[in-house]
A and B are shown apart, each in its own frame.
Chain A
């Protein structure tokens, strides 16, 4: 823990325990999103699915990077991650990004209904990629609300947390725009990452050098 680092934040008027609750919730959301995006990515298949697989991978790895970047700040401020991963997942600040019905669960069990001359083939629901993209874009929108809240909370008071939250917010905004573009909501304005999950904004906060290229 950074004793003076915490004191100066408290002296600036921040309730550090409340900030830590927000940061642990954000870290939990990044960690669970990394898990769920892994499932979404492996189910992003077929002609349409392959086209979005790379950006799901970028977002997935960058969300893991966000978790890595948040953890040091939590401990610097005197906080900690929960000892048990279960309550950590329950505290996550955004809901779980489940595989949509059209790609899993009960609806997926009905997928093998398409019959051809050569037998039955598992056909994907026409809307499955749209459903997948909707889950992804809404998860990013939740992240944008999360980091906007942390930026508002720390602006002008906790400079280090503010800058970190702003860096993460920049990447979440780009993720939203990528998925939104595929939903026909207009161009993202960005080109591809140089390599998967390069985190152009957050990489400088990943002092453990985890995941950097």
Chain B
């Protein structure tokens, strides 16, 4: 996939996004959190936690992972994989919980702006799960 052939949107001035910071905004039809890792890399992902729809803008980065403030689930912002707790769960619990994956948007910095693709890498989760 060549995400940068898709449309992209300028979402905020790059100077306003310091390392470790998170901002929530509307990008097209999606609520998106844009953040900057401590390495300086801008990233963008869905605004709601795939677990129970907590607001991820209130979370914190731990390395390349976003830490959800409600249950402290960790999601890799590059791969979307859940890093905690799913890999530790026994098989029976993993079967109950199912796949939890963070929807991400290609993000970069261009000419002083943070730009993100309109189309996510994977379909983001915009609603609480039905349980």
Q: Which A residues form the contact surface with B (CB < 8 A)?
A: 25, 92-96, 98-101, 104-107, 134-135, 138, 141-142, 145-146, 149
Q: Would you call A149 and B60 a contact (CB within 8 A)? A: yes
Task: Determine whether the beta carbon of B70 is less than 8 Å from that of A98.
Answer: no
Binding site for A on B (CB under 8 A): 60, 62, 67, 69-73, 84-85, 88-93
Residue pair A134, B84 in contact (C-beta under 8 Å) = no
Query: What number of residue pairs across chains A and B have CB atoms under 8 A from each other?
Result: 49
Given contacts A93-B71, A95-B85, is CB(A145)–CB(B62) below 8 Å? yes
| Contact indicator B90/A99 (Cβ below 8 Å) | yes
Q: Which B residues are CB-close (under 8 A) to A96?
A: 85, 93
Q: Are B90 and A145 in contact, CB atoms less than 8 angstroms apart?
A: no
Question: Closest CB of chain A to B50's CB: distance in Å?
Answer: 14
Contact B72 A100, beta carbon cutoff 8 Å: no
Contact between chains at B60 and A98 (CB < 8 Å)? no
Give 21 A-B contacts (CB < 8 Å), ordered by A residue: A93-B70, A93-B72, A94-B72, A95-B72, A95-B89, A96-B85, A96-B93, A98-B90, A99-B90, A100-B90, A101-B90, A104-B90, A106-B92, A107-B91, A138-B88, A141-B84, A142-B84, A142-B85, A145-B67, A145-B72, A146-B72
